Structure 1
Amino acid sequence: MSAVEQSTIFHREWLLSERPASRWQARLGRAYLMWRRLLANKLATVGLLIIVALLFVSAFADQLATFSPVIGDLKNARLLPPSSQHWFGTDDLGRDIYSRIIYGSRWTLYVVVLVAVIAAPIGLLVGTVAGYAGGWTDAILMRITDIFLAFPQLILALAFVAALGPGIENSVLAIAITSWPPYARIARAETLTVRNSDYIKAVQLMGASPFRIVLRHIMPICTSSLIIRVTLDMAGIILTAAGLGFIGLGAQPPLPEWGAMIASGRRFILDQWWVAAAPGLAILIVSLGFNLLGDGLRDAFDPRSADQ
């Protein structure tokens, strides 16, 4: 047996130890088990590969794109079909659709990451505070949450964007404002199940403040469920951003945003179908990737799942 194989076996046994010597070892062991469960799910692996490909394309868009995403040859390259020179064809302004999709992946990541960074912490904070405090605090925070949940997300986002003005930043803010209520509901439900548990009572007896209990002991418990819900919501966030771009309230020309690209190609859908089909296919693939990964994460984080 080679030294590399011996080292691999040693580290695997160290990670899977039933008696970890430290918190760090226990956390790494749980993360390793979750990673094995995720890789054992073939569909989740496909979703992970799609997201990794999206990250790769976004990071190396300058090298992967073959033409400028905003400058086209209106005179000689207008509405050309897919070919060896223009892989996905060209649009009505002579711009290479492949290059625009490559650069558009950056705006897709920009939207989903910012929405997740803004909406998830808000929902986590509101839900844990409401669940732990209870009483009138819970009633007020949950009634505010119910008001947001009473409206369809896209309609509410349209209202906020109409008030803030069109633009990619305003659309991100509008989507984030309308996305946090489900996270608050999940965090509150998780908090209600653990706030009266023995270890929370023990922390209270040790003199920990409510702020410390919520921040250090309850929020980490809610994190796994929140990560799963955020991943599953990424497809909806992409579709909402694309919908805002489609009606002209999201990214503004000449930004290569996928929803705006579909809007510009709807006039040619019958004859030059590739103008709208290519960005639509990109939205479909990325949304499918997030959904598959979210399903896999849900199974991987489930403590009742058998170790595979």
Structure 2
Amino acid sequence: MATVYELLDWLQSDQPSSRTQARVSAAYKLCILLGKNRLAMFGILIIACLVLISCFAPVIAPMDPYSQNLQARLSPPLTEGHLLGTDSLGRDILSRLIYGSRITLLVVALVIAIAPVFGLLIGTVAGYVGGWVDSFLMGLTDIFLAFPRLVLALAFVAAVGAGIENAVLAISLTAWPPYARIARAETLTIRSSEFIAAIKLQGARPLRIVVLHVWPLCISSLIVRVTLDMAGIILTAAGLGFLGLGAQPPSPEWGAMISEGRRFILDSWWVATFPGLAIFFVSLGFNLLGDGLRDVIDPKAHKS
């Protein structure tokens, strides 16, 4: 037990003895504050369930999501062997929803790996260099912001062709400008701080300053923005799938499932309803997590 108390004292120390201790202690305190937010924890629960379902899809799914049984087409929910019913080709909707979670997570992960990184690069360069570079990069950012996200994604996919890879590129193309704006605003504040001036006096080059000192201070704001944007990314991916420009049949993509089910919405409501509910709950989970992170990370939210 003494070891546990020592660990807690080490985590809660107000005077960390090393940079590692400071970072771990900050992460611990962040988790404690986040744990007190019930809505944020509910969002984390939804996202954790999504991850687990996608990882263990072959074990959880009761049937092959691609297996067709025309004799059981459009079977209602709670039919024997089909908890959520079947679609127009007799495929089990529950199994297709479970495997569709993999496509959703894949799109989210790839967009996270592309858009925030590119936006961070553009924003920090614009904010740190300034001058005509700032004007040019922010002008380019404003051009992208002028177009509605879904319209720009549709134009890109229509130009290069349908498919999940092109859909990811299209969503990333429309998602990076807000991150660039946030990174630029943070960089402008950090650039004029005293510790940056001290680092310059030590002979540090601009690239080292940006990578080692500016980027880490921009990440917290970007993380909050990323979690809040996940719902929009999922909806955009579903919109492309609904229009036939995302994942192609017979992939169990949720937007494509809704598109198929809209033809039977009056008589066989379950075909489109359950994929729509899946999109709703996953989007809700990311929104709740984003709101919780914003409340925890924003120091203004904790004024006594």
TM norm structure 2: 0.98
Matched, 1:275 2:259: no
> What is the SS of the residue equivalent to 1:95?
coil
In structure 2, the residue matched to 1:70 is 66
Distance in 2 between residues matched to 1:166 and 1:247, nearest whole Å:
10
Kept in 2, the 8 Å contact 1:116–1:230? The answer is yes
String of CA shifts for 1:68-88, please: whole Å, max 9, x gaps.
1111211x2100001152111
109, 113, 120: which one aligns with 1:113: 109
Matched, 1:80 2:71: no
Matched, 1:148 2:140: no
- Unpaired stretches in structure 2, ≥5 consecutive residues: none
Tell me the CA shift for residue 139 of structure 1.
Answer: 0.4
- The one-letter code matched in structure 2 to 1:79 is L
- Unpaired stretches in structure 1, ≥5 consecutive residues: none
> What is the SS of the residue equivalent to 2:147?
coil
In structure 1, the residue matched to 2:206 is 210
In structure 2, the residue matched to 1:184 is 180
Distance 1:206 1:187, change over 3 A: same
Tell me the CA shift for residue 300 of structure 1.
Answer: 1.9
Kept in 2, the 8 Å contact 1:80–1:90? The answer is yes
String of CA shifts for 1:134-188, please: whole Å, max 9, x gaps.
0001000000000000000000000000011001110001100111000000000
169, 174, 178: which one aligns with 1:173: 169
- The one-letter code matched in structure 1 to 2:110 is L
| CA RMSD in angstroms, aligned pairs only | 1.2
Tell me the CA shift for residue 305 of structure 1.
Answer: 4.6
Kept in 2, the 8 Å contact 1:33–1:307? The answer is no
Tell me the CA shift for residue 8 of structure 1.
Answer: 2.5
Matched, 1:294 2:287: no
- The one-letter code matched in structure 1 to 2:120 is L
Tell me the CA shift for residue 302 of structure 1.
Answer: 2.2
| Percentage identity across paired residues of the two chains | 64
Distance in 1 between residues matched to 2:85 and 2:143, nearest whole Å:
45
In structure 2, the residue matched to 1:246 is 242
Distance in 1 between residues matched to 2:237 and 2:14, nearest whole Å:
46
Tell me the CA shift for residue 9 of structure 1.
Answer: 2.2
Distance 1:59 1:94, change over 3 A: same
Distance in 2 between residues matched to 1:19 and 1:249, nearest whole Å:
54
Kept in 2, the 8 Å contact 1:183–1:229? The answer is yes
Kept in 2, the 8 Å contact 1:37–1:299? The answer is no
String of CA shifts for 1:256-290, please: whole Å, max 9, x gaps.
00000000000000110000000000000000000
Matched, 1:130 2:126: yes
Aligned length: 303
Distance in 1 between residues matched to 2:138 and 2:22, nearest whole Å:
35
Distance in 2 between residues matched to 1:228 and 1:196, nearest whole Å:
24
> What is the SS of the residue equivalent to 1:267?
helix
- The one-letter code matched in structure 2 to 1:23 is R
- The one-letter code matched in structure 2 to 1:127 is G
Distance in 1 between residues matched to 2:128 and 2:175, nearest whole Å:
22
- The one-letter code matched in structure 1 to 2:204 is A
